[in-house]
Structure 1
Amino acid sequence: MYIAKEQIKGQTHYYIRETYEEGGKLKSRTLFALGPDPARYIMYPGGNAYYIHESVELSILEKGYEVDTFELEDLFWPFLETRLKRIIKRPPVKVKRSYKGMSIDKLREIQSGIHIFDKRRLHYLRFGQVDQRRIAVTPYRFYNRLLGKSRDEIEAYIDEIEERLKPSEIKIYIYTIFNLQRYFFDNPYSLTAPFVLEQDRMDDYFMDELCRLNSDDTFFGDNGERKSLHRYLVKYLIMYFDSEFVRSPGNDWFSQFKDSNFYNPPYRESRMSLQEACRRLNITEQQYRAMSKKEIVTRFKRLAHECHPDKGGGHEDFIALCEAYKRLLEAKRG
C-alpha cells in the first residue's frame, strides 16, 4: 500500500492505493479515499499511543482486500503529531526482496524494464549530478525500489522525494531529468552552467521532450490515447516555467565566469505585455490583480490541460500560454 495525492479544485486529496497485476501489467487501485485531511483518521487515546480509526481498515476489508495493520499505521506517519514523531521511532520499511550480493550483470538485467526518465529522476535526487551520460549502462541498487510498482506508485514515491528539493535546485533538476543538455552538446558549459545557454531554445526543447514523454506508452504502461497533458507531468511544466537557474557565488563553477570575458546572458524576463498575458489566460487585468499566485497556477494548469498539443492545440500557442503564465507571475513578484 502507498499514499497517493491528487489535486482537486486546487486542494490536495489523499488516497490509500495498492499496486496489483492484471493481464501481465502493473496497475493501481484505490483502497480508501482519505480526503484533504488524513490526520483526522489518527486517534490519540492518551499518552504516547495512537491508532488508525477502524473505519479505514474495515472499509478496505469489506472491499475484499487484505490489510496489514502495521503497514497501515506506517502510511499515516507523515500526518502524525510532531510531538509523537519526536518520541516514537518510526519502524523500518519492510523490504519485500533483497538484492544484496547480486552481480552487476544481474542487476542490469532486472532493471532493464525501468524507464530512463525514472532513472534520471532517481539518479539526480540521489547524487545531484547533471552529468548522467553513463546512466543507461550503470545499474544502481536504489533503482530496485521501483521494481514491482505501478506507474501511479512510482510517481507517488518520486513525488515524495522531490518535495525535498530546494527552490534553487528545481530548474537544474528539470534541465537534467529531461536531458536538455543533449541539445547543447557543442557547448562546454552545458553540464556545468546551463544558465549561460540560450533560454528560448531551451524552452522549445523542453516542450518537445515533455510532449514526447506524454505520448510514450512505455512510460505510462498502457496504450491509451492522452488528449491532454497527463496529471503526472503537469507539475514539471509548472516547475520549469516557475523557476530560474540560480547564479550564486556559492556554486563551484561560478568562479569560471567571475572577472572573465565570457558572455553571461542576463536573467530573461518575459517580453510579453501584461495585457497580452492576461488575454492568453482569458482574464481581464482587473481580474488578474485580484487573483492570488495560487489562483493563477490553478488557472494555468486547467488551460495547459485544454490546449496541450496532444489535444489538438498549436505548439506555438502552448508556448505562448507558458510565456503568459511566466509574465503574470513576474508581475506578481514585482
Structure 2
Amino acid sequence: MYMKKISFCGSIRYVIRDSYWNGSCWTHRDLFDLGADPTRFIHYVGGNGFYFDEVIEDRLSELGIKYTTEELEEVFFPFLAPHIRRIIRMFGSNEPEHIKKWHDLSQEELARHHEDLHPFDKRRVHFLRCGRIDMGNLDCRPFKHFNILLEKSRDERETLIEAMEARLKPREIRTYVYAAFNLQDYFRGSLMRNHPAALDPEKVEEVFLDALCRLNADPFFFRGVPDHDPKFLHPYLRRYVIYFFDYEFGRSPGWEDFIRSIFSSQEWRAYQRLRSRKTTPLPEACKLLGIDDGKLNSMSVKDVTRIYRQLAKKAHPDAGGDHETFIAITQAYESIMRYMALKGR
C-alpha cells in the first residue's frame, strides 16, 4: 500500500492505493479516499499511543486487503506527529519486509526479476542513490538498491521516485534529468558528454525533448497504465519538463577530475596556483570573456555559458589551444558565475 497525492483544479486530496498483479502486469487501484487531510484518520490516545480510524480498517477488510500495522504506519508516516515519527525511526525496522525478501536470492535470480524494471527507472534510482552521471551498463549487475521498485505498479514507482527526488538540491536537479534520460548517449565521442554544463545548451534541449517524447510513447514504460495517449504528455513525465527548464546545470562532482585529466602535471600546478588566488575582479573577468560589463546584468546564465563554451573550445588544449588561456577564461567564467549566483540569477 502507498499514499498518492492527487492535484486537480487547484485542490489536493490523498488516496490510499495498492499495486496488484492483474495477470499480465502490475497495475494500481484506489482503496480509500482520505480527502484533503489524512491526519483526521489518526487518533492519539496520549503519550506515544495512536491508532487509525476504524473506517479505514473496515474498508481494507471489506476489499480483502492483507496488511500489517507497520505497513499502515508506513503509509501514514509523513502525517504522524513528529515525536511519533522519531520513535518509529528509532525502534522500527530499517527495511520493510517486502524489501527484505529479495536478500536471499542469488544474483541470477535477482537479475531475472530486474528485467521487469525500465532503464529509466534504474537510471533515476541509481543517480538518486549514487549521484553519478556516468553509470555504465546497469543491466550487467542487479544492484540491490533497485529492489525497492520490484512488484510495484507504474503509479507506485512514480510516487516513490518523486518522493526521493524531493531530496535533491537545486543545483543537482537538471543534471539528474540529464542522467535519467541518458542524454549523454546523444553526445557519444564528445569529451564533455558527462559535463552537460559545457555542452551546447540548444542541442541539449533538443535531445531532451526527443528523449522525453520517445519515453512518452514507450509501451514498456506505461505497462499497466490505462488510457495513455502518446499524443499528450502523461502527468508522470510533466514534472521533468519543469525540472529541466526551470533549473540550470550545476558543477558536476567530476569537474575537477576532468580538468586535471586534460593537463600535464606542470599545467595542473599552474591551474591550482591560479585557483588559489583571489577571485578574478569582475571587470577583468568580463574582459577575458569579451563581455561588456555594463551589459552583464541583462545577460542570463545561459548567455554567459554559451560565450564561455565557444571560447573554451578554441582554447582547449586538445584542440591545439593555449592551456594558460584556457585556465584564465575558466577562472573568469567561475568568477562571473559566482557574481550571478550572489545576485540570485
* Pairwise CA distance, 1:254: 8.3
Give, in whole Å, the separation in 2 of the partners of 1:8 and 1:202.
32
Compute the RMSD of aligned alpha carbons: 3.0
Residues 282-312 of structure 1, C-alpha deviation per residue, up to 9 Å, x if partnerless?
Answer: xxxxxxxxxxxxxxxxxxxxxxxxxxxxxxx
* Pairwise CA distance, 1:59: 2.8
* Pairwise CA distance, 1:132: 1.4
Normalising by structure 1, report the TM-score. Answer: 0.72
Residue 196 of structure 2 corresponds to: 194
Within the candidate set 215, 232, 237, 2:236 is matched to 232
Residues 131-184 of structure 1, C-alpha deviation per residue, up to 9 Å, x if partnerless?
Answer: 012212222122122221111111111112111111111011000000111112
Report whether the alignment pairs 1:181 with 2:189. no
* Pairwise CA distance, 1:123: 0.8
Please give the secondary structure, in 1, of the residue aligned with 2:220. helix
Check whether the contact 2:228–2:234 (CA below 8 A) recurs between aligned residues.
no
* Pairwise CA distance, 1:101: 4.8
Identity %: 39
Residue 17 of structure 2 corresponds to: 17
CA 66–105 in structure 1, closer or farther in 2 if over 3 Å, else same: closer
Q: Which ranges in structure 1 are unaligned for 5 or more consecutive residues? A: 271-332
Once the two structures are superposed, the pairs formed by residues 303-318 of structure 1 within 5 Å of their partners are: none
CA 58–90 in structure 1, closer or farther in 2 if over 3 Å, else same: farther
Within the candidate set 125, 132, 157, 1:129 is matched to 132
Give, in whole Å, the separation in 1 of the partners of 2:114 and 2:66.
29
Normalising by structure 2, report the TM-score. Answer: 0.70
* Pairwise CA distance, 1:99: 3.0
Check whether the contact 1:18–1:29 (CA below 8 A) recurs between aligned residues.
yes
* Pairwise CA distance, 1:74: 2.7
Give, in whole Å, the separation in 1 of the partners of 2:49 and 2:255.
46
Within the candidate set 210, 216, 240, 2:218 is matched to 216
Larger radius of gyration: 2
Q: How many residues align?
A: 269
Residue 101 of structure 2 corresponds to: 98
Give, in whole Å, the separation in 1 of the partners of 2:61 and 2:253.
57
Whichever residue aligns with residue 109 of structure 1, its letter is R
Residue 267 of structure 1 corresponds to: 301
Whichever residue aligns with residue 91 of structure 1, its letter is G
Residues 56-79 of structure 1, C-alpha deviation per residue, up to 9 Å, x if partnerless?
Answer: 222333345444333213311111
Give, in whole Å, the separation in 2 of the partners of 1:249 and 1:125.
14
